[in-house]
Structure 1
Amino acid sequence: MVKTAQGYAAFVPAPLPPQLDYSEALVLALSAADAALSELSGLGRVLPNPRLLIAPYVRREAVLSSRIEGTQASLSDLLVDEAGQPTETPADDVQEVRNYVVALEYGIERLTDLPLSLRLVGELHARLMAGVRGQHATPGEFRRSQNWIGPPGSTPVTAPYVPPPVAEMKEALGEWEKFLHQRGTMPELIQCALMHEHFEALHPFLDGNGRVGRLLITLFLIERGRLSQPLLYLSEFIERYKADYYFHLQAVRTHGDWQGWLLYFLNGVRWSASRAIRQASQLIDLRESMRQRLAAIPKALPLVDALFENPYFVPLRVVQLTGVSDPTARTLLRKLTAAGVLREVTGRQWGKLYVAQDVLKAMAEPGEDPNEIE
């Protein structure tokens, strides 16, 4: 802790890595997380159409990560918006979620020519905050003033957590980047957990820190070759166990409890990877079932994979995907509705919107395993 000239105390973390105790519990948690992550990565390598799973996973993560920060947009809101239809959810909330998709897809593409670095972090933040709440908070630029974490109305004096002052933050960010580039010095999942915690402790932006921090988990694992496709996301786990998430982050700062944080993070990786594997199986089985049901309908099969990228359809999208005329597209949509694949959701004569309800459910609510939580 440092005492500032303004009279409040701020936390300045020690450089990474800390001295770690590889207890039996930690070793077992690391082994389980590694195994689940490797299985998920292997699945990503053999998918007949990786985009079939990547699109729904990315969008689901965007919704859940943004929800942790208070947005109200649902997966349906995002998908309907992408289909070009209006939603009742505030436009700013939907735009924040769309920005998350843009930032994640940009980061994955950028890794081909730029390593994870402070430069890439700034580029991610700029895209995340473009045109939404917090856009006043210097998108893409590290903060030049003090911030703090606390309930509305709190101040640096009363807030439960005050990140480092600007000068100390800049120095710590340089050390964080050096740690980010270390290779072969520790298990990669341990390094990922330490990287994420430290970024949250530094809180280097005026807004959007949590979302950037969660983006970095996926990008780190892709860069290190631990994920063949962007299929692992921890936001659902964090949202379910949000109190534990903040408790363990704070316990590192107040008590140096790295063990508790690492166990939480590794359990989150195991849980999230296992859940993603089950969801992938459901989506693949559903795809094959749909292909069989629609095999006899001309021009229908090219639409099946498109349903898994976005299960909402309007006639124009069918025209764009198949090259048929507008009347033929409308006839095709009626045939898919009669086959039980689509359902019209507006009840209107014009401006009809169709949804593949089974696909949407599999995307939004992957099946539960009653034994998945220990």
Structure 2
Amino acid sequence: MLLSAADRALGRLDGSILTLPNPDLLVFGYVRREAVLSSQIEGTQSSLQDLLRAEAELLDELLPRDVDEVINYVRAMNVGLQRLRELPVSTRLIKEIHTILLEGVRGGRLQPGELRTSQNWIGPGGAPLSRATFVPPPPHEVPPALGHLEQFLHATDAIPPLVRIALAHVQFETIHPFLDGNGRIGRLLISFLLVEMQILQKPVLYLSHYLKAHRAEYYDRLQAVRDQGDWEGWLAFFLRGVIEVATDAAYVARRIVQLREAHRALITEQTGRAAANGHRLLEALFTKPIVTIANVMEITGAQFVSANNLVAKLTKSGILEEMTGFSRNRRFRYAPYIALLIDEN
């Protein structure tokens, strides 16, 4: 029954996304929510606001140092989705994504993109092997274990796709093939497999929202599979998460569409002859929610005075919000859209 409900929830989500005028407008926010939440499970402190500020090159001293880890997660997600057009989910793809995930950040010296050649373990911080809660396979077992996992992913048996993805996630985390980044790679695999198996046409299921909210149970369920073989308990937990997150994502998608339509009407009403440029800027704000006047000039093709006037009108109407407090080098954010994404972050 849970599998049936999860399939229906994903079907509704996929349908609601594909009927939108431009589904890619939503993907930007969904990928970043997943990046922030998946990274927070591993202990990062950066928020969605921090990520957007960093991407807008607002590199001030208030930004957490670990924001680069979240930026790398976004890059890894986008590169992985691009590579899926020519390469199946495989050990090769996993290693490529791992390289991007750890480039220049914490864990960057722990063999990015290379399968581990030493023993690792899971346990309290700084604890020795004797106090480990779980010891993954020894290094020489990692390549064949990943090979078996790859065969399982692409087998033509009758296992339902969602069940296959759920089982694969546990198995990847149990193999623990890298010295760092295994949790994030394992959650990226969920998104990649949903797209590769054509369950979703766009990566809009941010399962890390559910896994973070139930972090203790998440780890307990993984360990129960290893200790007691409780695959059924894990599957029920995973499927409940899919149902909850897919239902939430469809709701957020509807709210984003409503926001877009309301702001299109407001721009038409309040910007006069600049309405065409206003609409062009609005569409761009869904993928670049923090902009400068120079950005607006580039997006609209308008000169400085016209771009500045347009931003002033959108700020007055509440669509944009100046966020620096400076008279020069100002940045403006699409505050209502960011607030909607953060609402349940």
**CA deviations over 1:188-241 (Å, ceiling 9, x no partner):** 000000000000001100000011000000110111110011111210100000
Alignment-derived partner of residue 37 in structure 1: 10
The TM-score normalised by the length of structure 2 is 0.95
| 2:46 maps to which of 73, 79, 83 | 73
**CA deviations over 1:4-43 (Å, ceiling 9, x no partner):** xxxxxxxxxxxxxxxxxxxxxxxx1101111001111122
| 1:319 maps to which of 297, 309, 314 | 297
Alignment-derived partner of residue 95 in structure 1: 68
Alignment-derived partner of residue 83 in structure 2: 110
Separation in structure 2 between the aligned mates of residue 176 and residue 35 of structure 1, nearest angstrom: 27
| 1:185 maps to which of 151, 158, 161 | 158
Separation in structure 2 between the aligned mates of residue 97 and residue 325 of structure 1, nearest angstrom: 35
| 2:283 maps to which of 305, 319, 325 | 305
Alignment-derived partner of residue 340 in structure 1: 318
Residues 148-227 of structure 1 aligned to structure 2 (within 5 Å)? 148-227=121-200
Deviation at 1:89, TM superposition (A): 4.6
Separation in structure 2 between the aligned mates of residue 150 and residue 88 of structure 1, nearest angstrom: 33
SS of 2:28's partner is helix
Separation in structure 1 between the aligned mates of residue 318 and residue 35 of structure 2, nearest angstrom: 29
Q: Please tell me whether residue 283 in structure 1 is matched to residue 256 in structure 2.
A: yes
Alignment-derived partner of residue 350 in structure 1: 328
| 2:95 maps to which of 118, 122, 125 | 122
Unaligned runs of 5+ in 1: 1-27, 368-374
**CA deviations over 1:49-92 (Å, ceiling 9, x no partner):** 11110000001111111111111111111111212222445564
Deviation at 1:140, TM superposition (A): 0.7
Contact 1:176–1:198 under 8 Å retained in 2: yes
Q: How many residue pairs get matched?
A: 340
| RMSD, aligned α-carbons | 1.4
Deviation at 1:330, TM superposition (A): 1.9
Q: Which moved more, 1:228-237 or 1:178-187?
A: 178-187
Q: Please tell me whether residue 362 in structure 1 is matched to residue 340 in structure 2.
A: yes
Identity of aligned residues (%): 46
Q: CA 1:160 to 1:366, structure 2 compared with 1: closer, same or farther past 3 Å?
A: closer
| 1:230 maps to which of 187, 203, 206 | 203
Contact 2:50–2:64 under 8 Å retained in 1: no
Deviation at 1:170, TM superposition (A): 2.4
Q: Kindly provide the amino acid, as one letter, of the partner of residue 308 in structure 1.
A: F
Q: CA 1:166 to 1:89, structure 2 compared with 1: closer, same or farther past 3 Å?
A: farther
SS of 1:199's partner is helix
Q: CA 1:87 to 1:73, structure 2 compared with 1: closer, same or farther past 3 Å?
A: farther
Deviation at 1:148, TM superposition (A): 1.0
Deviation at 1:366, TM superposition (A): 4.5
Alignment-derived partner of residue 222 in structure 2: 249
The TM-score normalised by the length of structure 1 is 0.88
Q: Kindly provide the amino acid, as one letter, of the partner of residue 82 in structure 2.
A: E
Q: Kindly provide the amino acid, as one letter, of the partner of residue 345 in structure 1.
A: M
Separation in structure 2 between the aligned mates of residue 218 and residue 205 of structure 1, nearest angstrom: 19
Q: Which moved more, 1:165-174 or 1:125-134?
A: 165-174
Give the helix-richer structure, 1 or 2. 2
Deviation at 1:310, TM superposition (A): 3.0
